[in-house]
């Protein structure tokens, strides 16, 4: 129970850990105070540091959470009393004093949003303009001027930066419009990010494999050859073909489960066997734990088709395909192996890099999709040599809370 030395050991471990943390933090703080350079260097550093911190917060575009954090950095950069960031419809963030002016700000900024030119409202005038609109009358003793500079992304005005100070000198005006331009750059970057994501999604959708026209043509021919000799089998094959196309033409979802994909492969192989007879032999070794793993839609079937088409079709005599799926830590590992003709690794490299003329396009397609969805490290791993068969390994993380099967 509690008096066991287990907890004494745990106590020692916790204390040692705490000491280590304190020492590490202390060293870090000490290091940052050493070697700070001249005043000018420090000023440059401070400005750039504030800018880069604010930049991080604005990377998701103009939204309340990011703007609130960025406005804190930007206010210290400008050294003004209060700093506000708005978009075209409302105030996103207000940092510093004079928050009673908040309801009036959009009215003051309307002209800037429309015209796209920096406006300076001197102290006395602000008082007059604001008193009409503010919820509570302003404290009379406080004199404030405001500089309102537009945030222009491209040609559009997407918001304003407003800096409040006792007096609006030329320095503050210039600095504020520079800050607004800088914010605009960040917003443009954020938009670029967003469009890059959209592009990636579009690419994934475009890469979503279609079943190959060869296969449709060959299957129909094979079925045709059975219509007279074995009508029952022909009928069964047509039903399988219908099921197969229904799965592969489905519109919803970019993901499926391993179990469903295996069922699709089963139908595919049934149709291929109608053509090749016993020349295609398949064995399976599937760990049931990974059957519910989410994988990109039609990502295995092209690999099996590749094994049949390029591995076995060109080979004399029967060929063997082995499909395995294993649980490997946080990943599910699927392998597809054939003992067919194999291929030249150099040629394969060109195929995966996208320099190929239609052959093996399925492999390239699957590889590209896997990299898009799971990151550069999780593409296909292919081991092959001429005459030696091919082993394709695909690793998919088991945990994909963002993907619906």
Partner 1 sequence: MNPVVGIAAFAAVSLATAVIGFYGLRVSRTTGDFYVASRTVRPWWNASAIGGEYLSAASFLGVAGLILLSGTDALWYPVGYTAGYLMLLLFVAAPLRRSGAYTIPDFTEARLDSRAVRRVTSFVVVVVGWLYIVPQLHGAALAIRITTGLPAWVGQVAVVAVVCVTVVSGGMRSITFVQAFQYWLKLTALAVPALFILLVLAGNGSRAVAEASVNPTAMAPAGPYQNISLLVALLFGTLGLPHVLVRFYTNPDGQSARRTTLIVLGLLSVFYLFPTAYGLIGRTFAPGLAKSGQADALVLLLPGRMIGGTAGDLLSALVVAGAFAAFLSTTSGLVVSLAGVISQDILGGSVRGFRLAALISAVVPLAIATMTDSTALAGSVGLVFAFTASTICPVLLLGIWWRGLTDAGAIAGMLTGAVSCGGSMLAGAMLGSAGTPPWLAQPAAWTVPAAFTVMVLVSRSTQGRVPRTITRLMTRLHTPERPLATER
Q: Which residues bind partner 1 (CB under 8 A)?
A: 1-11, 14, 64-65, 243, 246-247, 250, 257-260, 262-263, 265-266, 269-270, 273, 281-289, 291-292, 294, 322, 326-331, 377, 397-405
> Measured from the CB of residue 89, what is the shortest distance to partner 1 in angstroms?
18
Contact (CB, 8 A) for 164 and 98: yes
164 forms bridges with which residues in the sheet? 82, 146
> Measured from the CB of residue 321, what is the shortest distance to partner 1 in angstroms?
9
> Which of residues 303 and 343 has its CB atom nearest to partner 1 in the complex?
303
> Measured from the CB of residue 236, what is the shortest distance to partner 1 in angstroms?
14
List % helix, strand, coil for the chain (3-state, nearest 5).
55, 20, 25
> Measured from the CB of residue 92, what is the shortest distance to partner 1 in angstroms?
12
> Which of residues 177 and 306 has its CB atom nearest to partner 1 in the complex?
306
> Which of residues 286 and 361 has its CB atom nearest to partner 1 in the complex?
286
**What span, in angstroms and rounded, lies between the C-alpha atoms of 300 and 250?**
16
Contact (CB, 8 A) for 369 and 299: yes
> Which of residues 132 and 329 has its CB atom nearest to partner 1 in the complex?
329
> Measured from the CB of residue 60, what is the shortest distance to partner 1 in angstroms?
11
Residue 234: enclosing H or E segment and its boundaries?
A: helix 231-248
> Measured from the CB of residue 206, what is the shortest distance to partner 1 in angstroms?
23
Between the CA of residue 255 and those of 139, 242, 258, 297, 359, what are the distances in Å?
Answer: 60, 21, 10, 5, 25
Contact (CB, 8 A) for 163 and 147: yes
Region for residue 90 given its phi and psi (left: phi exceeds 0; alpha: psi -120 to 50; beta: otherwise): beta
> Which of residues 119 and 269 has its CB atom nearest to partner 1 in the complex?
269
> Which of residues 113 and 265 has its CB atom nearest to partner 1 in the complex?
265
Contact (CB, 8 A) for 196 and 113: no
């Amino acid at each position: 129970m509690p008096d066991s030395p287990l907890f004494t050991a745990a106590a020692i471990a916790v204390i040692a850990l705490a000491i280590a943390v304190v020492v590490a933090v202390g060293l870090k703080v000490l290091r940052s105070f050493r070697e700070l350079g001249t005043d000018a260097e420090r000023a440059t550093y401070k400005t750039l540091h504030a800018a880069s911190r604010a930049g991080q917060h604005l990377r998701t575009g103009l939204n309340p959470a990011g703007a609130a954090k960025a406005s804190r950095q930007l206010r210290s950069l400008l050294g003004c009393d209060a700093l506000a960031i708005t978009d075209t419809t409302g105030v996103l963030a207000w940092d510093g004093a004079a928050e009673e002016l908040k309801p009036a700000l959009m009215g003051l900024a309307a002209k800037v949003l429309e015209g796209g030119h920096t406006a300076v409202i001197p102290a006395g005038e602000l008082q007059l303009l604001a008193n009409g609109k503010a919820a509570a009358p302003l404290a009379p003793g406080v004199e404030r001027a405001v500089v309102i500079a537009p945030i222009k992304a491209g040609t559009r005005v997407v918001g304003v930066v407003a800096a409040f100070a006792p007096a609006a000198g030329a320095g503050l005006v210039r600095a504020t419009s520079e800050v607004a331009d800088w914010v605009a750059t960040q917003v443009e970057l954020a938009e670029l990010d967003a469009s890059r994501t959209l592009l990636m999604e579009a690419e994934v959708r475009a890469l979503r494999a279609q079943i190959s026209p060869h296969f449709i043509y060959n299957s129909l021919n094979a079925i045709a050859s059975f219509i007279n000799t074995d009508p029952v089998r022909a009928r069964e094959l047509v039903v399988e073909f219908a099921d197969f196309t229904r799965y592969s033409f489905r519109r919803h979802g970019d993901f499926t489960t391993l179990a469903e994909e295996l069922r699709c492969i089963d139908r595919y192989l049934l149709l291929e066997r109608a053509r090749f007879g016993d020349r295609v032999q398949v064995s399976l070794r599937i760990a049931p734990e990974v059957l519910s793993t989410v994988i990109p839609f039609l990502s295995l079937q092209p690999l099996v088709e590749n094994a049949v088409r390029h591995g076995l079709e060109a080979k004399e005599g029967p060929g063997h395909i082995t499909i395995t799926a294993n649980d490997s830590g946080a990943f599910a590992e699927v392998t597809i192996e054939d003992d067919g003709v194999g291929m030249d690794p150099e040629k394969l490299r060109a195929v995966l890099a996208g320099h190929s003329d239609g052959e093996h396009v399925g492999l390239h397609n699957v590889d590209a999709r896997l990299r898009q969805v799971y990151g550069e490290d999780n593409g296909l791993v292919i081991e092959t040599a001429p005459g030696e068969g091919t082993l394709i390994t695909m690793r998919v993380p088991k945990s994909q809370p963002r993907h619906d099967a």
